[in-house]
Structures are given as C-alpha cells and as structure tokens.
Amino acid sequence: MLPGLPPARRRLRAVRHQLRRRRRLIAATLAALAVLSALRTLAPPAPPTVEVLVAARDLPSGALIGEDDLVGRAWPADLAPDAAATSPAGRVLAAPIARGEVVTDVRLVGPRLAPAGETVVPVRLPDAGMAALLKAGDEVDLLATDPGTGASTVVARDVTVLATPTGVPEGPAGGSGGALVVVGASATEATGIAGAALTQFLTVSWSH
C-alpha cells in the first residue's frame, strides 16, 4: 500500500489497476457479444413448422395403433408428408414403421391403402397358423371350402395381401378364433369373397 494515501484513494487506485490489467479480456468479451448480437440480427427466421404424429416406438405390420404408440412432433412445413395421418389411433398398420417415422395414411389399412381400382377386403382365415405365414405384399388365391362336402372353389385369384395380424393365436383349422387378414381385390371379387365368407371356410394358396 502507498503510504500517506487515504484508504478510499488506495481502493480506487487498486480498482483502476485491476481494470487496466483486464481491459483486453473485457474488450474481447464485448467484441464477442457484439458479433453474436449481429449474427442474431442477420440470421434468417426459423422455418415454419407443422405438428405431425410420429411412431413412439417400432411398430410391426398389422399392429393396432394406440394413443401411446404416437407422439406429436414439430416438423418443417416444407418437409412434412402430404399424406401425414391426422388421427391414426385405432387403425391398423399395413406395413412396419420405425420409431420417429411420420405416420401416413398410405401406411394404414383404409381406402388409400389399396392400389387404384381395388377394394380393401378383410378376410377371416379360420386357421390362425396359415395367417401367420403371410406377409404384406404376398399375392395369393382365396379358396372357399364347403364345410359339409369339403369341396373347394377359387373365389379370387392373385389378390394382394395388404396387412397381416401380429400375435396370431394358435388355433386349429375351423376354430372359432382364426385371424383377420386384409387384402386388395376388385369390386367383383370383393362381393364374391364376402358372400363365401358367410357360409364357407376361406383359405389361401400361393406360390413363390
């Protein structure tokens, strides 16, 4: 300490000394803040976003979508799919979907799932094990078997499997459970399939 100086003067001199030592650091900090402020001013505004529904977890083909399978995400408006589903809960997936993927109408069983000119037809197969062998995209023939005579006829050829069930229960042919498979067929075939399903057992055959 300098002798003869009042305490207040000594403190002031000490503060000035510290400021002189740190002025470069202070100047650099102020310059960085000025650059950051300029960048924020010149940066383009954030792109507009829209709310979409994405899968909260990996979901297999044939899964019935529940509310807890979905989560909302902000998505860039110019990247959001036009076919993004707005209320997919309670519907069935026609194809697997990965966690974080936008759920679209074309992935769901419904009118938009079938190719142009075809109708979406649910088919209950009495043999759940047979349904477990199918996968979306398979082309199969549908056969109707009379339970009394055992005679079989083809009711639709080369129909496309659109969705298959998951967690298919084991059950014998003709059991009360069976499994539901969704196919795409022409309007004429759809009528024949629906009629045959009322009185006969439906089965499938296909070749690879």
Whether this model's pTM surpasses 0.85: no
pLDDT at site 45: 72
Residue 159, token pair as written in the block: 């129909």
Q: Which CATH class is domain 45-113?
A: alpha beta
User: For residues 186-199, b (16+ Cβ closer than 10 Å) or e, as one string?
Assistant: eeebbebbeebbee
Segment (H or E) for 41 = helix 7-42
CA pair distance 120, 206, nearest whole angstrom:
19
Over the stretch 120-137, which tens digit does the pLDDT of each residue have?
A: 888 888 888 888 888 877
Over the stretch 132-161, which tens digit does the pLDDT of each residue have?
A: 888 877 889 999 999 888 899 999 998 888
Over the stretch 88-121, which tens digit does the pLDDT of each residue have?
A: 888 777 777 899 999 988 777 765 566 666 788 8
Would you mind telling me the total number of residues written for the chain in this entry? 208
Over the stretch 62-87, which tens digit does the pLDDT of each residue have?
A: 677 889 999 999 988 888 888 888 88
Q: Domain coordinates of the chain in residue numbers?
A: 1-43, 45-113, 119-205
pLDDT at site 71: 93
Residue 158, token pair as written in the block: 């080369």
Indicate the SS3 state at residue 92: strand
Residue 7, token pair as written in the block: 């305490």
* Average model confidence (pLDDT) across the chain: 78
Residue 147, token pair as written in the block: 């339970």
Segment (H or E) for 193 = helix 187-199
Mean pLDDT of 22-29: 72
